[in-house]
A and B are shown apart, each in its own frame.
Chain A
Amino acid sequence: MSAYTSKEALKEVEALGARQASIYVYEAPVRLWHWVNALAMTVLAVTGWFIASPLPSVPGEASANFLMGTIRFVHFAAGYVLAIGFLGRIYWAFVGNRHARQIFYVPVWDAQWWREIVFEAKWYAFLERDPKKYVGHNPLAHFAMFSVFVTTTVFMIVTGFALYAEGTGMDSWQYALFGWVIALFGDTYSIHTWHHVGMWVLVIFVMVHVYAAIREDIMSRQTMISTMVNGLRSYKDDQP
Chain B
Amino acid sequence: MGQRLETFYDVIRRRGVSRRSFLKFCSLTAASLGLGPTMAARMAEAMETKPRIPVIWLHGLECTCCTESFIRSAHPLVADVLLSMISLDYDDTIMAAAGHQAEAILDETLKEHYGNYILAVEGNPPLAEDGVFCIPGGEPFVNKLKRMSAGASAVIAWGSCASWGCVQAAKPNPTQATPIHKVITDKPVIKVPGCPPIAEVMTGVVTYMLTFGTLPELDRQGRPKMFYSQRIHDKCYRRPHFDAGQFVEEWDDEGARKGYCLYKMGCKGPTTYNACSSVQWNEGVSWPVKSGHGCLGCSEEDFWDKGSFYSRLETIEGFGVEGTADEIGIAAAGAVGAGIAAHAAASAVKRIVQKPTTHDRRPQDGSGTGDHA
Contact = CB atoms under 8 A, between A and B. Distances in A.
Interface in B356-373: 357-361, 364, 366, 368, 370, 372-373
Interface in B248-267: 249, 255, 260, 263-264
B313 A52 contact: yes
Contacts of A54: 245, 247, 263-264
Contacts of B344: 211, 215
A168 to B, nearest CB: 10
Question: Interface size for chain A: under 10, 10 to 19, 20 to 34, or 35 or more residues?
Answer: 35 or more
A196 B244 contact: no
A77 B116 CA distance: 52
A182 to B, nearest CB: 7
Given A16-B364, A197-B325, A204 B336 contact: yes
Question: Interface size for chain B: under 10, 10 to 19, 20 to 34, or 35 or more residues?
Answer: 35 or more
Contact residues of A: prevailing secondary structure:
helix
Contacts of B297: 187, 189
Given A52-B313, A207-B336, A62 B358 contact: no
B240 A196 contact: no
A166 B373 CA distance: 66
Contacts of A179: 220
A89 B119 CA distance: 53
B302 A186 contact: yes
Given A16-B364, A183-B221, A186-B301, A200 B333 contact: yes
B302 to A, nearest CB: 7
A68 B242 contact: yes
Interface string A1-36: 000000000011001111000000000000000000
B347 interface: yes
A67 to B, nearest CB: 3
A52 B326 contact: yes
A187 B244 contact: no
Contacts of B364: 16
Interface string A221-232: 100000000000
B282 interface: no
Interface in A33-59: 52-58
B220 A196 contact: no
B346 interface: yes
A66 interface: yes
A62 B249 contact: no
B113 interface: no
A122 interface: no
Interface in A58-72: 58, 61-69, 71
B234 to A, nearest CB: 7
B293 interface: no
A130 interface: yes
A18 B325 CA distance: 52
Contacts of B370: 15-16
A167 B273 CA distance: 12
A154 interface: no
A192 B311 CA distance: 12
A69 B255 CA distance: 18
A58 B246 contact: yes
Please indicate which of the listed interface residues A53, A54, A182 has the most CB atoms of chain B within 10 Å of its own CB: A54
B350 interface: yes
B205 interface: no
A2 to B, nearest CB: 14
A177 interface: no
Contacts of B243: 62, 66, 68-69
A200 B359 contact: no
Please indicate which of the listed interface residues B260, B270, B306 has the most CB atoms of chain A within 10 Å of its own CB: B270
Closest 3 CB pairs of A and B: A200-B329, A67-B245, A196-B325
5 contacts: A52-B326, A57-B246, A69-B244, A124-B343, A200-B329
Interface of B: 219-221, 225, 229-231, 234, 240-247, 249, 255, 260, 263-264, 268, 270-271, 297, 300-303, 306, 312-314, 316, 324-326, 328-330, 332-333, 336-337, 340, 343-344, 346-347, 350-351, 354, 357-361, 364, 366, 368, 370, 372-373
Given A58-B245, A130-B357, A203-B333, 20 more contacts: A57-B245, A57-B260, A62-B240, A62-B244, A63-B244, A65-B245, A66-B245, A67-B244, A68-B245, A71-B245, A126-B350, A129-B354, A130-B359, A169-B229, A179-B220, A182-B220, A188-B270, A189-B268, A204-B332, A236-B359
